């Protein structure tokens, strides 16, 4: 049953991501039928479908300069309706508990509530806002922030999202950095729909602007987010595998903060094992997101810095749009004695994108020799060949390169 619901939700996300209102409405209609005749959402669905049909009919007959904005508004309304109905469906199917408050003195109760409650009340979020700026409650706030972030990945909420964005401006540096990192991850996670939620975009941009450093600090946290995505730092520290001094500065501040020992232990016991894989997928998708456009695009230095960090962490895809950064990184890797064929291919790729075909060929040839068998070489080269073509290298150059590598 849970898998069926996940498939239905994916259908809605894909459909609304492409403004296909009718397709998404079909799934919402199925959910409403399941909820029964007395559900409170019937009129909202009828209004959305009528508004959409009227817009489509008008579009067939006359040009409307505001058609795109109107369609985005309808899509945002459809998203919000789907989110509301999804909550009721989860409750009806027993996939989420109906919760009515928590003990503010118990870290376990705070964690359980903000992780599982899918009908957060305004007073819950108001308490969190107050706790974010309270020395006495900072430990509880950090637990709630982490739990709420995971909850939001399952059940989208504008008010909860904006609460975390407000936390980016907390007077407590640890709270501010944790909120910033989690907001960044949520913006990447929800990139397909974020264009249809101008409230969240506006809140985020206003908060970043109010910091007064042209978003430099938020960009620094984004870099730390990319850097930490390959590592479950808290888990390794808790197991004694890493000294405190080896942890990223944001994590050090978390560990060193007053009264956080119980909070860290609670979070450590709760952290899912699949979190590292999820974080890696987010970072891989980062260059294509609204967040990247806001914080990075148009700033060559930020593009290079982020690409450099990504490459150091093993995100090879980040080098495709920054061949000069990739060339520097892989030149150093090879000078330090690497004999991995993939490193030679990556270096050659960057050289090819920069127009140095002779040096690129020599490094591809080195990779071919290390691989030994043609099959092993093709396993590495063919994805790279596709990337070369996608990034503008003429097809005849690529074919000539491959022919000489195989037969030369």
Each residue's pLDDT tens digit, 352-377: 988 899 999 999 999 999 998 888 89
Comparing 2 with 155, the larger pLDDT belongs to 155
Q: Are residues 350 and 209 in the same domain?
A: no
Comparing 272 with 107, the larger pLDDT belongs to 107
Residue 38 domain flag: yes
* Domain edge (last residue) among 58, 92, 126: 92
For the CA atoms of 394, 395, 397, 399, the dihedral, rounded to the nearest 10 degrees, stands at 170
Given this model, what pLDDT does residue 258 score? 45
Please compute, for residue 328, the number of CA atoms within 13 A of its CA located in the half-sphere on the CB side. 9
Q: Are residues 168 and 237 in the same domain?
A: yes
Per-residue pLDDT tens over the stretch 174-200: 889 889 989 999 999 999 999 999 999
Other beta carbons within 10 Å of 299: 14
* Domain edge (last residue) among 255, 282, 309: 282
Q: Are residues 340 and 394 in the same domain?
A: yes
Q: Are residues 114 and 224 in the same domain?
A: yes
Residue 234 domain flag: yes
The band of 318, judged by pLDDT with boundaries at 50, 70 and 90, is low
User: Does the structure show a pLDDT above 70 at 42?
Assistant: yes
Q: Are residues 271 and 131 in the same domain?
A: yes
Backbone region of residue 79 per phi and psi (left: phi > 0; alpha: psi in -120 to 50; beta: other values)? alpha
Q: Which two tokens stand for residue 175?
A: 């709270």
Comparing 183 with 237, the larger pLDDT belongs to 183
Overall number of domains in the chain: 3
User: Does the structure show a pLDDT above 90 at 13?
Assistant: yes
pTM summary value: 0.76
User: Does the structure show a pLDDT above 70 at 270?
Assistant: no
* Angle 263-291-226 from CA coordinates, rounded to 5°: 50
Taking the C-alpha atoms of residue 27 and residue 32, their distance in angstroms, rounded to an integer, is 9
User: How far from the centroid of its chain's Cα atoms is residue 160's Cα?
Assistant: 17
Q: Are residues 88 and 133 in the same domain?
A: no
Q: What is the phi/psi pair of residue 171, to 5°?
A: -70, -20
Per-residue pLDDT tens over the stretch 151-163: 999 999 999 999 9
Q: Which two tokens stand for residue 220?
A: 């620094």
Residue 305 domain flag: no
Given this model, what pLDDT does residue 311 score? 72
> What are the CA-CA distances from residue 117 to residues 96, 129, 143, 273 (Å)?
8, 17, 14, 22
Given this model, what pLDDT does residue 21 score? 95
Taking the C-alpha atoms of residue 143 and residue 102, their distance in angstroms, rounded to an integer, is 13
Q: Are residues 219 and 117 in the same domain?
A: yes
Tell me what percent of the residues of the chain surpass a pLDDT of 90. 50
Q: Are residues 70 and 171 in the same domain?
A: no
Given this model, what pLDDT does residue 407 score? 83
Taking the C-alpha atoms of residue 166 and residue 179, their distance in angstroms, rounded to an integer, is 8
Please compute, for residue 135, the number of CA atoms within 13 A of its CA located in the half-sphere on the CB side. 1
Q: Are 29 and 35 in contact (CB under 8 A)?
A: no
Q: Are residues 125 and 225 in the same domain?
A: yes
User: Does the structure show a pLDDT above 80 at 213?
Assistant: yes
Given this model, what pLDDT does residue 269 score? 60
Given this model, what pLDDT does residue 249 score? 59
Q: Are residues 346 and 275 in the same domain?
A: no
Residue 302 domain flag: no
Per-residue pLDDT tens over the stretch 392-406: 889 888 889 998 888
* Domain edge (last residue) among 27, 61, 92: 92
Taking the C-alpha atoms of residue 335 and residue 325, their distance in angstroms, rounded to an integer, is 16
* 139 sits in which H/E element: helix 138-154
Q: Are 148 and 118 in contact (CB under 8 A)?
A: no
Q: Are residues 173 and 217 in the same domain?
A: yes
Please compute, for residue 314, the number of CA atoms within 13 A of its CA located in the half-sphere on the CB side. 6
Burial of 177 (0-12, 13-18, 19+ CB in 10 A): buried
**Cβ-based neighbours of 402, under 8 Å, separated by 6 or more:** 381, 385
Taking the C-alpha atoms of residue 90 and residue 95, their distance in angstroms, rounded to an integer, is 5
Residue 296 domain flag: no
Mean local confidence (pLDDT), 226-230:
77
Residue 289 domain flag: no
Fill in the DSSP letter of residue 287.
G
Q: Are residues 75 and 112 in the same domain?
A: no
* 31 sits in which H/E element: helix 21-35
Average pLDDT, the chain: 86
State which residues form the domain around 32: 2-92
Comparing 407 with 10, the larger pLDDT belongs to 10
Task: Kindly report the length of the chain.
Answer: 408
**Numbers of helices and strands, H then E, in the chain:** 23, 0
Mean local confidence (pLDDT), 229-234:
60
Per-residue pLDDT tens over the stretch 276-290: 778 888 888 898 899
Residue 311 domain flag: no
Residue 312 domain flag: no
Taking the C-alpha atoms of residue 361 and residue 345, their distance in angstroms, rounded to an integer, is 10
Q: Are 80 and 48 in contact (CB under 8 A)?
A: no
């Amino acid at each position: 049953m849970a898998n069926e619901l996940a498939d239905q939700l994916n259908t809605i996300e894909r459909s609304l991501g492409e403004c296909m209102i009718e397709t998404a409405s079909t799934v919402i209609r199925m959910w409403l039928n399941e909820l029964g005749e007395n559900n409170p959402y019937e009129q909202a669905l009828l209004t959305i479908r009528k508004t959409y049909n009227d817009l489509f009919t008008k579009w067939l007959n006359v040009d409307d300069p505001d058609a795109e904005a109107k369609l985005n508004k309808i899509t945002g309304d459809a998203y919000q309706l789907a989110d509301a109905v999804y909550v009721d469906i989860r409750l009806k199917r027993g996939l989420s508990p109906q919760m009515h408050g928590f003990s503010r003195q118990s870290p376990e109760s705070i964690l359980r509530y903000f992780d599982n409650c899918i009908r957060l009340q305004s007073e819950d979020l108001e308490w969190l806002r107050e706790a974010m700026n309270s020395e006495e409650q900072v430990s509880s706030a950090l637990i709630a922030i982490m739990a709420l972030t995971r909850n939001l990945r399952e059940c989208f909420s504008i008010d909860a999202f904006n609460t975390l964005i407000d936390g980016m401006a907390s007077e407590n540096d640890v709270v501010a950095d944790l909120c910033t990192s989690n907001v960044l991850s949520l913006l990447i996670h929800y990139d397909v729909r974020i264009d249809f939620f101008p409230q969240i975009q506006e809140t985020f941009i206003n908060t970043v602007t109010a910091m007064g450093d042209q978003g430099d600090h938020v960009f620094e946290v984004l870099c730390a987010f990319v850097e930490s995505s390959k590592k479950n730092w808290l888990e390794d520290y808790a197991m004694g595998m890493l000294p405190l001094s080896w942890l990223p500065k944001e994590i050090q501040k978390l560990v060193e903060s007053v009264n956080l020992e119980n909070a860290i232990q609670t979070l450590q016991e709760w952290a899912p094992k699949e979190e590292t894989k999820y974080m890696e997928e987010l970072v891989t998708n980062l260059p294509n997101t609204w967040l990247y456009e806001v914080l990075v695009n148009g700033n060559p230095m930020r593009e290079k810095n982020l690409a450099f960090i990504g490459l150091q962490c093993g995100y090879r895809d980040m080098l495709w749009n920054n061949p000069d950064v990739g060339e520097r990184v892989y030149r150093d890797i090879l000078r330090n004695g690497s004999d991995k064929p993939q490193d030679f291919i990556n270096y050659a790729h960057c050289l090819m994108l920069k127009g140095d075909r002779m040096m690129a060929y020599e490094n591809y040839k080195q990779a071919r020799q290390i691989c030994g068998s043609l099959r092993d070489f093709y396993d590495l080269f063919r994805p790279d060949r596709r990337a070369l073509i996608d990034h503008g290298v003429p097809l005849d150059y690529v074919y000539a390169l491959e022919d000489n590598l195989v037969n030369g």
